[in-house]
Structure 1
Amino acid sequence: MQHNPAHTRRCKSCDGFPTVAITTGARHRDGSCVTIRVTCPGCNGTGHATLARAAVTVGK
């Protein structure tokens, strides 16, 4: 099933890649790299942007 791009908005901050693994440069005792996982603060790790509500002024 393909998603309709008109209904799906990617996050501007992460461009749809909400979680990344970053290598710290250190190594574990078994020789594997120490990594940390970081999620996008703009979309809270969903990869999708929320639609902004428009403010409407009513009256004079």
Structure 2
Amino acid sequence: MLQSRIGKACKLLIHTNALISVISDQCGFNNISNFNRRFLMIKGNTPKQFRKSIKAPSPL
């Protein structure tokens, strides 16, 4: 269940410009702190870091 919620969050982080707090709420997390903690546990970085790494241009 947690994996699917984090997966949905990843898709939203990649494909939308929604605020992380909005994504957290859409994925069923009670608060942003819990979302950040769970995301970090599963993905190894925070939602903000994840989004930044996806949007960053690849080095040549």
Task: Return the TM-score normalized by structure 2.
Answer: 0.23
| Higher relative contact order, structure no. (Cα contacts within 8 Å, ≥ 6 residues apart) | 1
Q: Which has the higher strand share?
A: 1
Task: Return the TM-score normalized by structure 1.
Answer: 0.23
